[in-house]
Amino acid sequence: MEATKALPLTAGEIRSALQDARRLTLALVADLQDAQMIGPPLAIVNPLLWEIGHVAWFQERWNRRHLRKLPSLLKQADLLYDSMAVPHDTRWDLELVGREKILAYMQESLDDTLEHLPEEPSEEQVYFHLLALFHEDMHAEAFAYTRQTLGYPTPGPEVYEPSEAPTDGALPGDVEIAGGVYELGATRDLPFVFDNEKWAHPVEVGPFAMARTAVTQGQFLELVEDGGYERRELWSGAGWKWHQEAAAQHPAYWRREPDGGWIRRAYDQMVKLEEHLPVVHINWYEADAYCRWAGRRLPTEAEWELAASTVEKHTYPWGEDPSPGGRANLDGVFGGPVGVGALADGDTKSGLRQMMGNVWEWTDTDFGPYPGFVADPYKDYSQPWFGDHKVLRGGCWATRFRMLRNTWRNFYMPNRRDVWVGFRTCAAD
């Protein structure tokens, strides 16, 4: 799959992006059997048959019903697909619309959206069409990690058409960041941002040193081999409680072979551990334990953004060029993570590599509002999750570039290890 470009803003660009998003959504589920479209009830995933219906519902919720005040295209759609009204653990028990009918609803919702987007859309129309686009992009990434979680087959070339992945290994050492007063958050000249990015405000960041790359599988293996999962002193109180309840002995999907070597599950295949790849499917507690073991720490959110953006506040780690080609592992162009030393053209001015793409990166910061926060019309996007989630930054290999920038904030519960998340470290204070 080719890399996308930056934010689509014209009517033609938005239509093309919406069609591209739907193509990927459908491709990610096209090969699955009906039973796989339901799957087992788990707290960390949705039944995919429900989730594709939710994507179509969200699109018409804002672009048909909100903007044009028209009724839903599907009877009782809110009772089935409103994610804030339908409890998560009941979604497997709903009398869901069948696959053929839900695919027709998806097409009808998309056609209705495309047909009624005028050639010269208003700011409001652009905003809500982009909101629906990015919502679908986020769910496409969720479909990819759901397939991994459930051990479904690797998405075929009709999904990602991956190029050969570079295998460059770790780059040792830290980059020294001077710190200073930094404007954390999105600036008001950006044409689209989410409410949790609003607005840029000054923060004082002290000098710090950040690792040039994310932590690799080989580096994390050293913690595992050193008995790190059994050493209570390496874990926070909450982390040790999770560790005990999960009976975790190593990262998710890793397995020790009889000869003492290690393999990991990638979708439905077992592969040898690749020491040069970033460690992935690591939760915050595991990342924190690694830092304690290594005498390091996780960066704060402000440190991470300053390091990616510099005091001059660039839009992307490499500057302002609105194309990631050759700079970042995004849009599924390699079909998975690549070596942490690859893609030098995407380096920050200070020499940090892959601050965008490959794997999401945990920060030490609790997800919360910036000063003066006001929820956007989609009020359930950020506010319900303040307080008990951690901030992640940078995007991963399956994230769509068109919605990213250095100020973009992701957020997950600290116990989540199913998503495409890794981390990089900073020198301890």
> Is pLDDT above 80 for 1?
no
Of the chain, the end-to-end C-alpha distance in Å amounts to 42
| pLDDT class of 79 with cuts at 50, 70, 90 | very high
Residue 70's pLDDT is 98
Going by pLDDT thresholds of 50, 70 and 90, the confidence category of residue 157 is confident
Give tens-digit pLDDT for 326-335. 999 999 999 9
Structure confidence at residue 426 (pLDDT): 98
What are 134-147's pLDDT values in tens digits? 999 999 999 999 99
- Give the residue among 199, 197, 195, 200 at the shortest CA–CA distance from 380: 195
267-322 confidence digits (pLDDT tens) = 999 999 999 999 999 999 999 999 999 999 999 999 999 999 988 899 999 999 99
pLDDT value for 166: 83
The reported pLDDT for the residue numbered 429 is 80
Q: What is the mean pLDDT of residues 390-411?
A: 98
pTM higher than 0.95: yes
pLDDT at 419 over 80: yes
The residue-averaged pLDDT of 379-395 equals: 97
Task: Tell me the one-letter amino acid at 25.
Answer: T
Sequence-distant (6+) residues with CB within 8 A of 292 are 233, 234, 235
Nearest-angstrom CA–CA distance, 234 and 20: 45
Predicted confidence at residue 37, as pLDDT, reads 98
Burial of 235 (0-12, 13-18, 19+ CB in 10 A): buried
pLDDT band at 343 (very low <50, low <70, confident <90, very high): very high
Higher-pLDDT residue of 160, 252: 252
Say how far apart CA 317 and CA 314 lie, in whole Å.
Answer: 7
What is the CATH architecture assignment of 174-216+282-427?
Answer: Alpha-Beta Complex (3.90)
Residue 6: its pLDDT value, please?
82
Over residues 308-321, the pLDDT tens digits come to 998 889 999 999 99
Tell me what percent of the residues of the chain surpass a pLDDT of 70.
100
- Does residue 281 or residue 163 have the better pLDDT? 281
Give pLDDT, residue 3.
77
Instruction: Give the pLDDT confidence score for residue 163 in this predicted structure.
Output: 80
Q: What is the pLDDT of residue 168?
A: 82
What's the whole-number mean pLDDT along residues 341-347? 96
Instruction: Specify the CATH class of 11-149 in words.
Output: mainly alpha
Q: What mean pLDDT do residues 169-184 have? A: 93
Same CATH topology for 11-149 and 174-216+282-427: the answer is: no
What is the SS3 assignment for the chain? CCCCCCCCCCHHHHHHHHHHHHHHHHHCCCCCCHHHHHCCCCCCCCCHHHHHHHHHHHHHHHHHHHHHCCCCCCCCHHHHHCCCCCCHHHCCCCCCCCHHHHHHHHHHHHHHHHHCCCCCCCHHHHHHHHHHHHHHHHHHHHHHHHHHHCCCCCCCCCCCCCCCCCCCCCCCCEEEECCEEEEECCCCCCCCCCHHHCCCEEEEECCEEEECCCCEHHHHHHHHHCCHHHCHHHCCHHHHHHHHHHCCCCCCCEEECCCCCEEEEECCEEEECCCCCECCCCCHHHHHHHHHHHCEECCCHHHHHHHHHCCCCCCECCECCCCCCCCCCCCCCCCCCCCCCCCHHHCCCCCCCCCCCCCEEEEEEECCCCCCCCCCCCCCCCHHHCCCCEEEECCCCCCCHHHCCCCCCEEECCCCCCCCEECCCEECC
Beta strand 174-177 with 208-211: parallel, antiparallel or unpaired? antiparallel
For the chain, what is the mean pLDDT? Answer: 96
* Predicted confidence band of residue 165 (pLDDT cuts 50, 70, 90): confident
Query: pLDDT digit string (tens) for 83-135?
Result: 999 999 999 999 999 999 999 999 999 999 999 999 999 999 999 999 999 99
Residue extents of the structural domains in the chain = 11-149, 174-216+282-427
Predicted pLDDT of residue 136:
98
Mean pLDDT of 344-360: 97
- Crossing angle of helices 237-246 and 284-294, in 10° steps, is 120
pLDDT in tens, 212-225: 999 999 999 999 99
pLDDT at 59 over 80: yes
Q: How confident is the model at residue 177 (pLDDT cuts 50, 70, 90)?
A: very high
Asked whether residue 207 carries a pLDDT value surpassing 90, the answer given is: yes
Distance separating alpha carbons of residues 86 and 190, to the nearest angstrom: 34
